[in-house]
Structure 1
Amino acid sequence: MVYDTQGRYGLTWNVTPDMLGVLCENGRFEATNPAWEKTIGWTSKEIEDRPFFDFVHSDDMEITENAFVKIKTGEPILQFVNRYRHKEGGYRWLSWNCVPEGGKYYCSARDITQNVENKSALADSEEEARLREQFIAVLGHDLRNPLASLKAGFQILSREGGLSARGETVIDASTRTISRMARLIDDLMDFARTRLGSGLSLDITDGADLAPALEATVEEIRSVHSESKIVSRIELERDVPCDVYRICQLASNLVANAVTHGNSDGTVTLSARTSENGLAIDVTNHGETIPQRIIDHLFEPFVREEVSPSQEGLGLGLFICSQIAQAHGADLNVNSVDGVTTFSFRLPAQNS
């Protein structure tokens, strides 16, 4: 029968990548083509010496038995999917078409394992995307909104008369803590967008309000770090198209980082200027020189400078700065020599 079948189908029987076979009513194949061994590792003899059910995955046994009953009634089986055991272990997903004719069943099967795995991976990816959105929503709503309510409450209390000096101190400290927590949440949200989502989105404007926005940013940091000397030199002679909010976020992170890691009696300087080359922002502080081995990893997430490892924070601020620069097509670099550290942001004119 094998030779009759091969003679009948000729070259197609031997070279097709599809598994072809002639199945008898007793559940055994009386002829199988070479594609069986290529697909599931079993030789024709090994396949034909055993009932085909011996190769079916246990979870697919019931639906396969039902399909076999159905084809015995004369109905063809089209695009039926089950799993067959591979000789070397594991299973392959097969898609079957079987047609009854003259008391035998002429079958063809195609290996669709890769397609099934791709669909599974896609489903996993869609589930991950859904979980990402839920995670960002939790950060953006369930955490930030209560903080905003707390901050508003403390601001109302601060305007009440008759507060003791201790009460004013407690309210001021609490407000600062809430602001710090809000910044941490902002950093976590940006990290989630860059590493778990599609990256930071930009709202590019003509940048006409960048100068006053930078001044307000520096003033906000001064109010939080009143004990630090922070100098700003902002000379923007031309408008620079950019995302003003993100540029101010970058400046805020860099200045706050400089205050945190610099000498307590040192000066932190932010300079911003424009020229025909584009926008340049530099933030400089004085303190311990950052070793090159630390600089090499400074813009990675959850990395903090070893020169002051006890400082609070998640180590996301500089990573977020690098992502803001990258989204703008700009460069962000650091130079630390003889106790003077400068972070430099450069947005070329052609990208601005």
Structure 2
Amino acid sequence: MEFRIRRADDGQLRWLARRGEYVRDAETAGLRFIGVIYDITAAKKSEARLRELNEKLESRVEERTRERDRLWSLSSDLFSVCDTGGYLIAVNPAWTELLGYREDEIAGTRIDALIHEDDRALGTGLIDALKQGQAIRDIDLRVPAKDGSYRWINWTFAPAEEVFYSVGRDVTQRKQLEDQLRQSQKMEAVGQLTGGIAHDFNNLLTGIVGSLDLLQSRMAQGRLDRLDRYINAATVSANRAASLTHRLLAFARRQPLDPKPVEPNRLILSMEDLLRRTLSEAIQLRIVASDDLPLTLCDRNQLESAILNLAINARDAMTDGGVLTIETSISSLDRVYAAAQQDVSPGRFVTISVSDTGTGMPADVLAQAFDPFFTTKPLGEGTGLGLSMVYGFAKQSEGHVRIYSEVGRGTTVRIYLPCHTGEMEGEAPAPAPSESHRAEAGETVLVVDDEPIVRSLILEVLAELGYQALEATDGPSGLKILESRQRIDLLVSDVGLPGLNGRQLADHARLIRPHLKVLFITGYAEQAAIASGFLAPGMEMITKPFAIEDLAARIREIIARP
């Protein structure tokens, strides 16, 4: 029993507790208390303070809960709670305001179903990462609104014991501004590209036109001696123009490639002598080849050119000597990393790293390293297309490139090429001598090209080789000839034709002539960027400009093939 009394001396109230019992006194017949009475005032004060603290704590918790609920209700950010399977349990009102969905419309929906189909593969990777206890921060994904439009949302995901929490912020406006900035930078690069092309091609055209003018003048005068020097000068300039075009196409990812299985280690080791001759004596070359490196599928010649370009850049950055290291390895990039990089696909890659100990690049130079015609070399010592060509080749081969550089410490360029599980192919036989290129009796070739000069050159070559040559200036007129009963052993067609493009023409023709053989000619063909994806069986491709000997060999080889 507890009770209060007031002290007689100072009048303070004290809490007392009594523990015991009353017993009847036999002598007096009254009650007598037997037990203990003790002071519990301090305990009571502590209890009162604790009760007060609990009341304050409850008040604070209620206030924090109200603040959380207000934040959940009023925030423009997307809040959601998912179960361990990735299915939405609860969403805040911002989903309705921003995307138009009510909570009951999307509750129970798996979160990766609310992601743009191009980003959806990443959703599965996110859920797997969250199940493993990994938090995901700062990742941009497109989410469809109820009206069919899409919004860019920057997400943060955090796993808890039985649920996943996510916060998403609308960054659509930021993305639009980034696109505008990229477009502005692209136009600046186009201006730089146009100026560079004009400068280089005007020089090359001067060599071609001037040599032809002198050749024509000498022939008109009857001076036929030493004409070969003008012919050679025009040929050299024309070949340089063709090389420049190929490098531009590689940068734009438009160069038709011939992808085949390649052993990167073997290719690099075969280039060792060439690389040593390219480098100065003050530069040490180190090749570090990874064991058990898989094949990659790419254009061997373009890969050699890319490695050589990087080696030349490294050499020029080490004027006082240094070490050039070419290293191969395997890299595995997961979906989360790939999404964070924006232009990278997940998977296993063969990595070729070219590192130097040279001057390195400051941040402003590094930001422009892949821009066409951007160069830090003196005028006349570089076109500025080396790194842009490497970039275009890697992206066209379904890989990518990264540069790491620090001023005074050197530069590393890494080319990532997808691993290939196929087998090496045998070396192609060398072209047969020109005598074997001649036609057999009655063999007929149809040439379809809208460029008169190119078409007439091909027809003249065919006539000299003994073929019966037919011509058409566009797809529809070529199709009329193919629909006739005329014998045609081979269709030679440009890819870019008016009316019907080359592939459409070939497909229509094969409905009538199922076994028709086709040789495409192309100088620019987006669809032919990867030859194996563009060409059906019985179709081949030759790239402009081509040597007459190469064209004759390809025509004979295709017609003679069973």
> Normalising TM by the smaller chain, what interval?
0.3 to 0.5
> Which has the higher relative contact order, 1 or 2, with Cα contacts under 8 A spaced 6 or more apart?
1
* TM-score normalised per structure 2: 0.25
* TM-score normalised per structure 1: 0.39
The structure with the largest alpha-carbon Rg is 2
